[in-house]
Amino acid sequence: MTTLLTTHDVARIVATHGLPRMFSRLVDYLEADFARWNDFDKTARTAAHSDVGVIELMPVADDREYSFKFVNGHPGNYRHGLSTVMAFGALADVETGMPTVLSELTMTTAIRTAATSIMAAKRLARKDSKVMALIGNGAQSEFQALAFHHMLGIAEVRLYDVDPAATDKLAANLAGAAPELRVVRAADTAAAVRGADIVTTVTADKKNATILTAGMVEPGMHINAVGGDCPGKTELDPAILTAPNTRTYVEFEPQSRIEGELQHMAADFQVTEFWRVVAGEARGRTGNDEVTIFDSVGFALEDYSALRLVRDLASELKLGSKTDIVPVMADPKDLFGHLVGTQARDVTQGQRILDAVATAAAVAS
Tell me the pLDDT band of 130, cut-offs 50, 70 and 90. Answer: very high
Q: Are 104 and 10 in contact (CB under 8 A)?
A: yes
Residue type at 87 in one-letter notation: A
With a pLDDT cut of 90, the percent of the chain lying above it is: 82
Tell me the pLDDT band of 362, cut-offs 50, 70 and 90. Answer: low
User: Would you call 340 exposed, middle or buried from its count of C-beta atoms within 10 A (0-12, 13-18, 19+)?
Assistant: exposed
The distance between the two most distant Cα atoms of the chain, rounded to a whole number of Å, is 88
- What CATH number does the domain located at 131-296 have? 3.40.50.720
Indicate the SS3 state at residue 141.
Answer: helix
Task: Say whether 93 is catalytic.
Answer: no
Q: Which is catalytic among the residues 9, 33, 161, 229? A: 229
**What are the residue ranges spanned by the domains of the chain?**
2-107+303-323, 131-296
The CATH number corresponding to 2-107+303-323 among 3.30.1780.10, 3.40.50.720, 2.40.50.140, 1.20.1600.10 equals 3.30.1780.10
pLDDT tens digit string along 114-127?
Answer: 999 999 999 999 99
Residue 311 half-sphere exposure toward CB, CA atoms < 13 A: 21
Evaluate if residue 183 carries a pLDDT over 70.
yes
Indicate the SS3 state at residue 339.
Answer: helix
Pairing relation of β-strands 99-104 and 2-5?
parallel
**pLDDT of amino acid 357:** 54
pLDDT tens digit string along 81-107?
Answer: 998 889 999 999 999 999 999 999 999
Q: How far is CA 258 from CA 47, 234, 266, in A?
A: 11, 11, 12
Residue 281 half-sphere exposure toward CB, CA atoms < 13 A: 11
CA pair distance 45, 150, nearest whole angstrom: 31
pTM attached to this predicted model: 0.92
